[in-house]
Structure 1
Amino acid sequence: MKLGATRGDTVYATRGLTVGRMTPRGGFEPTGTLPNPDVEFAGKQRVNYGPLNRWWTKRLLNRVTGWYTTTNVWPVADGVLLATVGHHLYRSIDDGRTWSHVHELPFDSGPMGALPTSVCAADDRVFLAEYTFEAEPARVLVSEDEGATWETYLETEERRHFHGIFYDEYSGTVWATTGDTDDESAIGLLEGGEFRPVLEGSQQWRAVELAFTPESIFWGMDCSYAEEVRLFRLSRYEITESDPTPEQIGTTDASVYYADTVSVDGDDWVAMATAAEVGVDDTSPPGSENTCSRSARVIVAGPESEYETWYELYSFERQRTLNEHLSDLPNASAYVYLESTESEKLLVNPFNTTSHHGEILSVSPNALTALTTDDVRERPVEREAQSDRAEVSPGGDDYR
C-alpha cells in the first residue's frame, strides 16, 4: 500500500489502482478502483495503463526493478478526492467509490503524474503542480470547483518543474518548491498568478516538501550528490527581508523528500524523511556521484531543543534488486511517505524497503515525547535506528 493524504483522522491510501481508507487496526478498506480513462490513445499507452499500474504486476516485477508506485490520492473537500495514475487525473465526489477522468497531464510527466506533494487545497481553490522533465514549461494549475475543471495558474521557463505546493495555515499563504539545477531551485510563494522566490539559486534551496510551525518554515535539501545534506529553518520574521538568512539546524545522509508537522500537547514536532535514491542525478555537475545512503530514514525534532536535536525514529534499507547491477535497466528508489492526523499521530509508510514495505506505521504522541527522556538522550543522535517501531513508538496502531 502507498499512503495518500489525510483529512482529519481519515487516512487515504492506494493499492495498485484501488483507492481506499485505512482502519486503525483492520488494515486497508477498499472503496473504489481508478478506471481506464476515456481518452483517445492507443498502442503502448493503452497497454501500459492496466498491466503496469496493477498491484499484482508490481509484485511480479519487484525483485527485478524494486517496488514502484504510479498512483496518488488527495482529499480536497468533504467527500471529494483527486487521484493520479501516470498522467491521468481523476476526481471522486463520493469519497472514492466512483471516479471520473477530469484532466490529462503532460505525457512526459513522471510515473505518478505528479509528486505526492503536488496538490494543495487553499482558499476555496485547489492547486496542482505538474511534474515534467523539460519538454514542457514548469506549470501550476488551479481549480475553482474542487477539481472538476482546471486552468493554468502560472507557467515559467525559469524552473525545470515544481516539486510541491503547500498551504501555510499560520499566515494563510501558499508556498511552492522548485528544482533542479542551482538556478532552477527555489522556495517561494504563489501570489497573484506568479511564483515569488524567497530563496533561490542554490542546492540548499532545492527542497521537496516544507513543514510549518507558528515561528518557522523547515526543509531539507533534495540533492543526491551533495557531500552533506543540510536541514534548514527560516524564521517568519525573515520572509519579507531582502536577503533572508535561513539557519542550518542539522544534517542527514540522503536527500530529504517528505516533511510534516505533528502537534503533541500543543507542541509542534517536525518530521523529515530521506530517500534512498538510485542512479546519478541527470542535472548534477559533470563527474558527480550519488552520495545517498542505502537506507531511507525518518528523523524528528521538537521544540525543547529549538529543533536542533534530531532523533532517528526509523531506518529502512532499500530493497536489493536484479536491475541495480545492470545500469541500463530501471531500478526503483526507496521512499518513506509521511502524514499526520488530527489525533496527533505521525504516519510512516516505507516503500520499496527490505522491511515494512507498504505498511503504514503509526507513531503515538507518547512515543515522541519519550524521545526527550534521559535514557533516550544518552543514545547518540546518529545511532543506527531499528526498523522495528517497537523500539521507539510504543502505543501506536499500525495500518497493514
Structure 2
Amino acid sequence: MNRTALLLLPSLLGLACGEAETAAVSTPESTRLESAALSAVFSGTVVDELGKPIAGARVTVNGVLRVTSSTGAYSLSLTESATGYLLDIRKDGYAPVNTLKTAGQIGQKHVLARGFTKVINPAATNELIDPKSGIRVLVPANSLQTSAGVPVTEQVSFSISPHGPDTMPGDFSARNSAGQSVALETVGAVTLAAVDARGNTLSLIPGRTLDVRIPVPAAVGGTMPACVLNGTCRAAIWLFDPLTGLWKEQAANAQFSTSGTSLKIVGQRKGEILPGDGLGTWNADIEVTTPACTLIEFVNIPLDCYNPPPGTTPEPGIEVGFEQNTVSGTPKSKTLASGSGTSFIALTNLRASTALKLSVEFPPGAPAYCGANLTLTSTPPASATYPQYWATGGLTQFITGPQTFTGYPKNSAGNNITLADVAAGDHPCGSHLYVETHP
C-alpha cells in the first residue's frame, strides 16, 4: 500500500455526543477509473460476527442494488459524486450497516451482527424477549403482512437486533418533527424484522401495533440520563431512513423510565417503512441541536510509520483513539486504524463545548523516530497537562466548539470537504488536530 499525492481522501466517523459510529476509512484501495465519466468502484464481502459469509445480503450504494453471492461477495460501480456515497447493507435477521463513504472502496469486509430470532405463529399473540439486550416485543395475533398486503398465517421468523452506540446505522444525523436538522445521543435502539417461510420480508398491517420495550444499554450507562426524566433535555423516538441515512422523528407514544423506553410501532397505510426495511430500525435518542465537528489531519508522516519495514498487506496503520463523555457522564470511546492513504478524518456530531481526548499509537515495529518526533497540535489549544507523549504515540485533549450543522462537513459549494478545503479553511468544523512526525 503506497501513499500517493494524487489520491488523498478524507474519511468519515460519525459521533453523537461522544458516541462512536462505524468509521468509513478511505484507503489506498479506493479506486478511481479513468473513463468517459469518472466512476467510483465498491466491492467487498459481507460476513457475520464469526466471519461466515452472508449470502443474499442487499448492498445498496446511492440507490444501486447488488445482492451478495454464496461467498458474501459484491461489486458495483457508479458515477462519481461530490456529495459522497451512502452505503447500506442489510439482511433480515441481522443488524443493518449504513454509512457515508467519501470515495469508492474495494476489498472491504462488512460485519453484520446476527439478531435474536424466534419462530412464531403469527395467528397467535407472541411475546419475544432478547436474552442479551432485554429488548421486549409484543406481537399481536394476525398483525403481519407481505409487501402485497396479504396477511400471513404460516410460521414466521421474527428477529430482534439491538444497537449500541458503536453499531448504529448512519452517523446520528436526524431531522426532528419540526424539520430541523439535529444530532442524536442514543439511549437504546433496535432493528426488527419478520420473514415468512418463503423468505418474504414482512411489515405491519395498517393500524396494528407492536409494543416495544428497550432497556438503556450498559454501553451508555444502563440508566436513563436524569435530564430525560426531568425534562431538561429532549428525548424522542426516531426511525432510520436507509435512503437518506437520516433518523426521522416519529410519534410513537414514548414513555421514558429510569431503566428504559417503551414505545408503540403502528402499521402505516402508505408505508413510512420501506418494503425492504421490514419493521424498521428504531432509536430512543436525546436530541442535540448544536453538535460539534473535529478534524484530525495527518501531516507529512512517512510510510514506515504506517507500515513498518518490511511492510505487509494490509498495512497495520496508525491507531487513532478518541473519548468523550455522554450527557449522562458515561465516557464513550472508539479506536480505528488510519491507513497511509487517509489524509484526514472528520469526527462529526460530537458534543459541543465538551472535553475530547484524542490519541495516536504507531504500529508495532515502527521506527523509533515516529514516536520520538511526534507532535500533536490543536485548535483550540490543548487543555492543561496535554499533550502527553510516550515512545510509541501520544495523547491530547481540548474543548470542542459549538456548531450549527450535522453530518459530514460540507464546503462553501455544498460538497463534502476535501484535503484542499481543509487546507484552505473552507469547512465548518470548530476544532482541528494536526498529527505530524518526521525522520
Between the two structures, name the one with larger relative contact order (CA 8 Å, sep ≥ 6).
Answer: 2
**TM-score bracket for this pair, using the shorter chain length:** under 0.3
Which one has the bigger strand percentage?
2
Q: Indicate the structure (1 or 2) with the bigger Cα radius of gyration.
A: 2
